[in-house]
Amino acid sequence: MEEHKIVSREAWQAAQRAHLAEEKALTRARDALVKKRQALPWMKIDKSYAFDTQHGKKTLADLFAGRSQLIVYHFMLGPDWEEGCPGCSFLSDHIDGALVHLAHRDVTYTAVSRAPLDKIDAYKKRMGWQFPWVSSFDSDFNFDFNVSFTPQQQAQGKVVYNFETQDYACDELPGMSVFYRNEAGDIFLTFSAYGRGGEPLIGTYTLLDYVPKGRDEDERKMMGWLHRHDSYEDGVTGTTLAHEKQGACCHEAAHK
């Protein structure tokens, strides 16, 4: 950690005021960018998708749960994975508290993974989460939204991710898709984010950005310090399972 100047109260306040001007400029720029995001064109979803849920088969329209707006988080948990991606788990630790507030703003949130439902339910129970989480195991949903990749795509060594062709990194990658459903029942894709696009959901990072040491991450190995919340050495289990290394690597690749 670099050395910091120690100054008088007056000098400290002057530095804070100067920095605050930049913070306000960033806030205004972010607000303007949000308006541009909300004004982006939409794409109609004509393809039918079916999901396995705790209440039987559901369509994409069913996932809205009677609301007009739906946020889908593409959680990295493949059919043969033993547990979810550490990075996706980190993000998901921040979701449950927001659900009631989203519901009162006409928004439903759900996670979707390609793993079978029983594997999803077991991991969700282990992590203590309450948000809806469904399986797209029997559909093309993950493939169509460029977060899962077929063996053929993997063999080619190139996949389309984050709106560009990239070197193959992993069979599953993270993302977020936002949908709107009108009164006629038509569904539209309004926005998608990949890679670091989901980072604003991670409140822990926001808090770390306030403290002197910051995130304290090696830029060459983002999230290298990260464990699932029940797997830190002083936590409940103190274990690091073999697949954790694969999941962490995949999430790092997605954030480059």
pLDDT at 251 over 90: no
Q: Is 219 helix (H, G, I), strand (E, B) or coil?
A: coil
pLDDT digits (tens, 9 = 90+) for 193-245: 999 999 999 999 999 999 999 888 776 667 878 999 999 987 544 344 333 43
What type of residue sits at position 183?
Answer: E
Query: pLDDT value at position 256?
Result: 55
Q: Tell whether 164 is covered by a domain.
A: yes
Q: State both tokens at 108.
A: 């439903």
More confident residue, 213 or 106: 106
Q: What 8-state DSSP symbol labels residue 69?
A: E
60 — pLDDT class (breaks 50, 70, 90): very high
Query: pLDDT value at position 129?
Result: 98
**Following DSSP, what letter does each residue of 194-210 receive, concatenated?**
EGGGGGGG-HHHHHHTT
How distant, in Å, are the alpha carbons of 98, 155, 156 from that of 167?
Answer: 35, 11, 9
Q: How many domains does the chain have?
A: 1
Mean pLDDT of 153-182: 94
Q: Tell whether 21 is covered by a domain.
A: no
Q: Which domain holds residue 113?
A: 43-254
Q: Tell whether 10 is covered by a domain.
A: no
Edge-to-edge strand order for the sheet containing 175-181? 43-44, 187-194, 175-181, 69-74, 107-113, 133-135, 50-53, 56-59
Return the ∠ at Cα 122 (arms to 116 and 123), rounded to 5°: 95
Mean pLDDT of 11-38: 98
Predicted TM-score (pTM) of the model is 0.90
Cβ proximity of 114 and 120 under 8 Å: no
**Average pLDDT value over all residues in the chain:** 91
pLDDT digits (tens, 9 = 90+) for 69-91: 999 999 999 999 999 999 999 99
pLDDT at 185 over 50: yes
Query: pLDDT value at position 115?
Result: 98
Residue 78 CA, distance from chain mean position: 15
Query: pLDDT value at position 168?
Result: 84
pLDDT at 247 over 80: no
Which H or E run includes 109? Answer: strand 107-113
Which H or E run includes 32? Answer: helix 9-38
Return the ∠ at Cα 97 (arms to 183 and 195), rounded to 5°: 75
Residue 211 belongs to domain with CATH number: 3.40.30.10
